[in-house]
Amino acid sequence: MNIQPKNIRKLTAFEREADLIEGLQTGHRIAFDEAYRKYHPVMLRVAAKYASTAVAEDIAQEAWLAAIGAIASFEGRSSLKTWLCRIVTNKAFNTYREKRPEFPATPSLAMLSDQSAENQGVLPVISANRNSLCRRPETGSAFRLK
């Protein structure tokens, strides 16, 4: 007769979070493997809230690099999971900032060549919205569009 428990829980060397953090701070490879196994799926889900699946993978990998580089400064004021998720969120915001389109500070050539009466003599400084600041080239005076 073969009697074995149905649910055997695999014990790890880093059962407690404090032991895992200490292992990461001392550079144990097993600690990193355990942290990656435990937290990477959560980090991917957080990143996927801000970006596509492919970009979320990149964000999570960049977050791991940043976390491993900064683990010595981890103070334990939050859980390791919270700290890692905050790094992911920051990386996602930085990725968004780097990839968002910039509004030109000067008018485009199409705007300069527009000879319509409403655009005659008016050069927008930034054309981001309807209340953009504009300047008259002949006087340099500023006004807002209404």
Banded pLDDT at 115 (limits 50, 70, 90)? low
Whether the predicted pLDDT of 108 surpasses 80: no
Whether the predicted pLDDT of 97 surpasses 50: yes
Q: Which of 73, 77, 87, 74 is CA-nearest to residue 40?
A: 87
Banded pLDDT at 126 (limits 50, 70, 90)? very low
Banded pLDDT at 73 (limits 50, 70, 90)? very high
pLDDT at 138: 64
Whether the predicted pLDDT of 21 surpasses 60: yes
* Domain segments of the chain as ranges: 17-99, 109-144
Whether the predicted pLDDT of 110 surpasses 90: no
- Report the pLDDT averaged over residues 38-51: 95
Kindly report the number of other CB atoms within 10 A of residue 92's CB atom: 22
Whether the predicted pLDDT of 109 surpasses 60: no
Alpha-helical (H) ranges within the chain are 17-26, 29-48, 53-70, 80-99, 109-113
The CATH code of the domain at 17-99 is 1.10.1740.10
Mean pLDDT, the chain, rounded, equals 78
pLDDT at 98: 82
